[in-house]
Structure 1
């Protein structure tokens, strides 16, 4: 596996790039906006294709690079389903899998630092965001943080992983780079408590100043979604209310760009053809499935995804390749709000 730990000194943030092989798909966890060029340079140097950019939670100490990476690579943006961000391409829930080619991480909901905090685990390591730090834990006094919830996330979830599991946090302020679950259980001073009440008392007594970037970072990180109105102004979008009326029309073919797990959890528009977004590029090329479907007379191809971000990017790429396609603005989320049926 290709694995790189990257550091932003201004915010003491660690970002993590993972892939299974050279030439393959890659994902990045907790990227920082100011480091975007460095990430993309490394992706090129390692001969990778960035397909997912992931945040463990809504950060208050730096501006995320999710939007910048999406705009420059057309990658999928990913956060937990509780996020306050306006639009991310994919929202994960506890028990889901975060996957790319050759890599699959367990999705663990670990609230407490914030109410949208998640950790992501491989068999030998876990990316803990700000929930579990090296010899510390994330503060719980803003963004709907809750010390008792964090206690359960720590003792009920993360500390039940094998002792040898490597711990890779989103931050470190002392120069440490990695720990293990066993080390943290034995030596982390904030974990030497006997109850949730004792932990909550410890955390409430910290009296920490707000992060320096909080007033800038949080509003910026809430607004990371792709501007779908630009697609609508080009005449390439169908609003959900209209799309509901089009279902069953003989000239309309619906293309679902979501992953299989999203389809199973959130439902499918009846009659949809499944084409996961990472397969789009090959499908719109000469001889590809969408390329051939678009040739059919009197056929209207209509993309959709979870929130409209992937389908908006897909429309742009397909149109650039000469295909006449449209998308459902707002995706399944808008479809559901419009009363559209799902199977």
Structure 2
């Protein structure tokens, strides 16, 4: 496995780059906007293809690199389903997995630092965001933080992982890079409490100053969605009601870009082809299923995803490949459901 721990000295943020092999798919966790050029340089040097960019929670101390990475690589942006961010490509929930080629991350909902905090696990390590730090824990005094919820997240979720599990947090201010669950259980001073009440009292009396970037970072990070209006202005979008009228027409092929788990959880538009976004390039090449549907069968391709972000990127890719009859469902399956569209 390729694993890189990258550091932003301004915000003391750790960003993690994961891939199963050189030349394969890559995932990045908690990217910082100002470091995007460095991430992309490293990704190119390793011959990787960035397919997913993930934030563990809504950050208050730096502006996320999710939007910039999406715009420059057309990768999928990912956050937890509890996030209040306007639009990301994919939202994950507790107990699900987040997959790329050769790597499967487990998803754990760990509220407390914020109400949208998530941790991600591999068999030998856990990426704890700001929930569990090295010899510390994330503050709980803003963004709907809750010390009692954090106690539950740490003591009844994270500390139940094996003691040898490596702990990789999203921040460190002392120069430490990695710990283990066993070390934190034994030596983290904030975990040497006898009850949830004692922990809440400790966290409620930290009296910390607000993060320096908070007034800038939080509003900026709330608005990460791809501007689908530009795609619509080019005539490459249909609204949900227009898409309803196209349903079942022989000259139209609806294309579902979501992953299998999303389809199982939320349903799918009846009769739609399933081509996950990661497989789009293969599908639109000559001989690919989408190229054949558009060219040989003369069908109009209508891409859709959860919220319209992946499909907006997909229609641009298809147009670039010469599939000029393609368009996408503006607002995705969320808009389809709101319009009363049927689901299989």
> TM-score, normalised on structure 1?
0.99
Q: Take 1:196 and 1:335, find their aligned partners in 2: how far apart are those partners?
A: 44
5+ long unaligned stretches in structure 2: none
Task: Please report how far the alpha carbon of residue 159 of structure 1 lies from its aligned counterpart in structure 2 after TM superposition.
Answer: 0.3
Partner of 1:337: 338
Q: How does 1:51-66 map to 2 (within 5 A)?
A: 51-66=51-66
Deviation string 1:231-278 (CA, Å, 9 cap, x unpaired) is 111111011122122212222211000000110011111111100001
The alignment of Structure 1 onto Structure 2 pairs a total of residues equal to: 343
Task: Please state whether the residue corresponding to 2:128 is helix, strand or coil.
Answer: strand
Corresponding residue number in structure 1 for 2:141: 141
Counterpart secondary structure, 1:98: strand
Q: CA deviation at 1:282?
A: 1.5
- How far apart, in 2, do the equivalents of 1:131 and 1:338 lie? 38
Structure-1 residue corresponding to 2:171: 171
Query: Which digits, 9 at most, give the CA deviation of each residue in 1:114-166, with x for residues without a partner?
Result: 01000000000000000000000000010011110000000110000000000
Give the C-alpha shift of residue 298 in structure 1: 5.0
Conservation of the 8 A alpha-carbon contact between 2:304 and 2:332 = yes
Q: RMSD in angstroms over aligned alpha carbons?
A: 0.8
Match of 1:4 in 2: 4
CA distance in 1, matches of 2:84, 2:66: 14
Q: Identify the residue that residue 121 of structure 1 maps to in structure 2.
A: 121
* CA distance in 2 between partners of 1:129 and 1:297 (Å): 48
In structure 1, the partner of 2:245 is 245
Q: 1:297, 1:130 → 2: CA distance?
A: 51
Shift of 1:297: 4.9
Give the deviation of 1:18 after TM superposition: 0.2
3-state secondary structure, aligned to 1:295: helix
Extract structure 1 runs of 4+ deviating beyond 4 A. Answer: none
CA distance, structure 1, for counterparts of residue 239 and residue 149 of structure 2: 39
- How far apart are residue 307 of structure 1 and its match? 0.5
Q: Name the CA distance, whole Å, in 2 between partners of 1:240 and 1:227.
A: 17
Aligned to 1:226: 226
CA–CA distance in structure 2, aligned partners of residues 263 and 297 of structure 1: 26
Q: Output aligned runs, 1:85-234, within 5 Å.
A: 85-234=85-234
Q: What's 1:259 paired with?
A: 259
Q: What are structure 1's unaligned runs of at least 5 residues?
A: none
In structure 2, the residue matched to 1:23 is: 23
Summarize deviations over 1:78-134 as a string: whole Å, max 9, x none: 000011111100000001101100000100000000010000000000000000000
* CA–CA distance in structure 2, aligned partners of residues 233 and 18 of structure 1: 36
C-alpha contact (below 8 Å) 2:3/2:16 kept by paired residues:
yes
Q: Give the TM-score of the pair, scaled to structure 2.
A: 0.99
| Separation in 2, partners of 1:45, 1:296 | 38
User: For 1:132 and 1:312, how far apart are their aligned partners in 2?
Assistant: 36
SS at match of 1:114: coil
What CA distance in whole angstroms lies between the structure 1 residues aligned with 2:115 and 2:6? 26
Aligned equivalents of 1:93, 1:114: Cα separation in 2:
15
